[in-house]
Amino acid sequence: MTQPHATDPHALLASAACVLFDFDGPMCRLFAGHPAEGVAQRLSGRLAELGRVPASVAASVRRADPLGVLLAARKHYPHDFALMAVLDEQLTEEETVAAATATPTPGAAKLIRALEAAGTRLAVTTNNSPAAVISYLSRDGLGPLFDGHIHGRRPDPALLKPDPDCLHRALESTGVAAPDALMIGDSAADWLAANKAGVPFLGYAENDSKYRALRDAGAEVSVSTLEGLARAG
């Protein structure tokens, strides 16, 4: 079931054999109740305790970007796998705590259930930890719909999107060819990963800055809300 070149989000969804959801953004606001700024600061503090403080970490803290802290550490200490494991473990714990108070993205759960009811396969492709995704999905009983198809962060930060690693794993686990899938993401990294994997893409841009970032990256189709998309199923 190869998708046509479509600019209608409903057509993209209706023709997809499998939909790959990014997590933080399209499914929820992960750090709504557990602010990302504090998470980034604590990760930076852990680096300081270990005597490792790359200058670029400060910029990630200012941007309230926990993953940026992880990437900065990896860039400066590419062969320190023990350090990466310590940081990844701490970030996973922080994300799992955040999942308990994450705010659902309006329309996401309804769309997920409609797609599943229509026979569309579902997967999560995210830079966040699988543990956080599983914790969040269990809140609304959505976990079984993604059973075995949650593809999150691996120990090596080099495999984070825009690397297509998690998309390749999702396609393999669902048995769907790249042109027959669709990814819903909210960042340039999401679009770049989908493009590298050959997966059609639907952008979720909840504000103008998100829309501009997706447009500038090359994403052709974006929506400002997931509300109303459920009829695609």
CATH number of 9-30+103-232: 3.40.50.1000, 6.10.140.120, 3.40.50.300, 3.90.1150.10?
3.40.50.1000
Mean pLDDT across the chain:
94
Q: Name the band, by pLDDT with cuts 50, 70 and 90, for residue 140.
A: confident
Specify the range with the lowest mean pLDDT, choosing from 6-15, 142-151, 194-203: 6-15
- For 39-98, the pLDDT digits (tens) are 999 999 999 999 987 777 888 889 999 999 999 999 999 999 999 999 999 999 999 999
User: In the predicted model, what is the mean pLDDT of residues 29-43?
Assistant: 97
- For 126-139, the pLDDT digits (tens) are 999 999 999 999 99
| 99 token code pair | 């999942």
User: In the predicted model, what is the mean pLDDT of residues 96-109?
Assistant: 98
pLDDT of residue 54: 75
Residue 231: is its pLDDT beyond 80?
no
pLDDT of residue 130: 98
Query: Taking the domains of the chain in order of start, what are their residue ranges?
Result: 9-30+103-232, 36-99
- For 148-163, the pLDDT digits (tens) are 999 999 999 999 999 9
User: In the predicted model, what is the mean pLDDT of residues 153-179?
Assistant: 97
Measured distance CA(194)–CA(197) in Å, rounded: 5
Residue 2: is its pLDDT beyond 50?
no
Calculate what percentage of the chain has a pLDDT beyond 70.
96
Residue 1: is its pLDDT beyond 50?
no
Q: Name the band, by pLDDT with cuts 50, 70 and 90, for residue 190.
A: very high
Q: Name the band, by pLDDT with cuts 50, 70 and 90, for residue 233.
A: very low
